[in-house]
Amino acid sequence: MKLTNNFTNCFWTTLVYCFCYFNSFLFAQETNLYRFIYEGHNEKIKTALCYNTKTNLAEISKVSSNEFSRVKGYLDAFILYGVPNEKGRVFITSAKAPEFFLKANSKTNEVTFDKITKDSNLEPFKWEFVLNRETDGSIISLQTIVKNKFAIKKENERAIIANRLGTKSSDNQKFSFRLEQIVNVF
């Protein structure tokens, strides 16, 4: 049984790796790009989940503009891939560097970007959306699927894994993003 599970995990890891690697070369007009707009307390400053290419960390930074920018826009643009045979779960890759995927590091509580290799454990790379408001379906928490289902929250300018979702609606708002589809300019 263990040999079968290892083979199955290896098969799916290889399949996802090949699929995403192949898709990175086919990055074309049909690819949907998304932003995770941070729904914080200051509505005047638009911030979003961003990819820091120097540190490979996820950050929550000011959006370059409402219009998609060819220069800076790819830092806050992401591509979503459905996880095969797991409804509601996605892999999130950077539009700037499609070979890097959003990953939850449960040891350091950091949200990082890393490559998926044949030997990778896929669990830290899987994410699911949790609706935070019944009246607005675009308000979500980005939540890991690892053991305790931690959500992303903002701490200073970094995105970190929260220890829990709040019990009050105001606490839940701290963990919320608005999923925004943006036009691919290429």
Specify the CATH number for the domain of residue 70.
2.80.10.50
The answer to whether residue 60 scores a pLDDT higher than 60 is yes
Mean pLDDT calculated for residue range 68-96: 79
The pLDDT, as a whole number, for residue 101 is 94
**Greatest mean pLDDT among 27-31, 47-51, 153-157:** 47-51
The residue with greater pLDDT, 123 or 27, is 123
The pLDDT, as a whole number, for residue 1 is 46
The answer to whether residue 164 scores a pLDDT higher than 50 is no
Choice among 73-82, 133-142, 144-153, 165-174 with the minimum mean pLDDT: 165-174
The pLDDT, as a whole number, for residue 25 is 44
Instruction: Residue 7: give the domain boundaries.
Output: 2-182
The residue with greater pLDDT, 106 or 57, is 57
For the chain, the domain total comes to: 1
**Greatest mean pLDDT among 8-22, 44-58, 69-83, 151-165:** 44-58
The pLDDT, as a whole number, for residue 129 is 78
State the Cα–Cα distance between residues 114 and 100, nearest whole angstrom: 5
The answer to whether residue 14 scores a pLDDT higher than 60 is no
Q: Tally DSSP H helices, then E strands, for the chain.
A: 2, 12
State the Cα–Cα distance between residues 27 and 33, nearest whole angstrom: 11
Residues 6+ apart with CB under 8 A from 134: none
Residue type present at position 33: L
State the Cα–Cα distance between residues 162 and 153, nearest whole angstrom: 6
Question: Could you give the percent of the chain with pLDDT greater than 90?
Answer: 5
Mean pLDDT calculated for residue range 15-35: 57
Locus of tokens 């899987």: 126
